[in-house]
């Protein structure tokens, strides 16, 4: 699968897989930004993409940032539709107790390409029975 990518600024770096077999490509920041504890920030990548039909890009957190600095993608996964041509960015939140400094070129999120399935919605008056029934939100013991 080919994905067309435009670098909107000279600072933008193409998304890249770090290791063979990775599902996510690293996305990098183009500008410095400090995220204070409890603050959210829109961190731009300087990239725009053209996805094939019936695919989406998901902007997801990087596990190292989450574990070491309590930085994550707020709306995870952030959805990039195939028809979107604007700049890719990540909405990051600092759940930590210290300010976190973003530097240009820093890996801030990962982007996963996934197929989409569109459902046909059918309005019904009742649903079929299941073993689980209406149990949810911890009803199975977790």
The annotated binding site for substrate is made up of: 62-64, 75, 79-81
Dihedral sign for Cα 41, 44, 45, 50, please: positive
Please enumerate, by residue number, every residue annotated as part of a binding site. Answer: 62-64, 75, 79-81
């Amino acid at each position: 699968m080919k994905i067309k990518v435009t670098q909107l600024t000279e600072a933008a770096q193409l998304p890249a897989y770090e290791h063979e077999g990775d599902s996510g490509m690293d996305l990098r920041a183009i500008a410095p930004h400090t995220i204070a504890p409890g603050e959210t920030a829109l961190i731009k990548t300087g990239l725009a993409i053209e996805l094939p039909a019936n695919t989406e890009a998901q902007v997801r957190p990087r596990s190292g940032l989450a574990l070491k600095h309590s930085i994550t993608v707020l709306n995870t996964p952030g959805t990039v539709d195939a028809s979107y041509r604007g700049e890719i960015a990540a909405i990051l939140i600092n759940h930590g107790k210290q300010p976190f400094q973003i530097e240009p070129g820093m890996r801030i999120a990962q982007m996963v390409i996934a197929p989409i399935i569109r459902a046909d919605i059918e309005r019904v008056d009742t649903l079929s029975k299941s073993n689980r029934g209406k149990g949810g939100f911890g009803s199975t013991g977790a």
